[in-house]
Amino acid sequence: DAQPMVVMASPGMLQQGLSRELFETWCSDRRNGLVMPGYSVAGTLANHLLTEPKEIQTTSGDWVPVNLSITYISFSAHSDFAQTSEFVTSLRPRHVIHVHGGEDEMKRLQRALAKRYDPKEVEFLTPQNCQAVHLRFPGDKVARVIGSLAEVAPADGAEVSALLVLKENKYTLLAAADLHTATPLASTTIVQRPRFRYDRPILELLAAVGRIF
């Protein structure tokens, strides 16, 4: 401690570990300084220090003054607005959910992105921690009917027994008997015959089965 030094310590949230121990040891001295180069989650000591508190509670329960200087620099490897916007434009997702970052920054990004896209095409959401998010997707699907199933139109309201096959995002509806002729798929029949040992009289077994069925 006699010589000036720079110590790079983790974790960055200052919740525990070496960074927390060093901070509690040095935070009372005005000659020291803290530089936080990354995002801090709400509820952590690192995030609390951004409010410049006069004192903090140590992990042992004591209170110590905070006299050192606190500096925050944005040093993030995450994408910026231009990169995020380009990514959304390329994918055109129905929903975009912001889940990583400061609340104010995420809401600012949400508003900026929402101005660039039609809300009917892309929805931007910024939920709170542990907040449930309900997403709506178009429910209509179109299936092509082939084989013997397409020979006769079903009556209105009648039940249809068929197989629904999905291939390359296209749906096909066909009878089970047409599976091997209309597709490269094959049907398989599995017959299961359970066996068990029974040493009691057969009448007792029949009576027990009769009570079930």
Separation between Cα atoms, residue 111 and residue 105, nearest integer Å: 10
Longest Cα–Cα distance in the chain: 95
- Structure-block tokens of residue 84: 């995020």
- Pick the catalytic residue: 48, 78, 95, 180? 78
Q: Where are the alpha helices (DSSP H) in the chain?
A: 17-26, 45-49, 81-91, 103-114, 179-182, 202-212
78 part of the active site? yes
Cα 52 off chain centre by: 33
What is the DSSP secondary structure assignment for residue 48, as one 8-state letter?
A: H
Cα 199 off chain centre by: 55
For 160, residues 6+ apart whose C-beta sits below 8 A from its C-beta are 149, 154, 173
170, β-bridge pairs: 167
What H or E segment, with its residue span, contains residue 118?
none
- Structure-block tokens of residue 127: 């939920």
Report the catalytic residues. 78
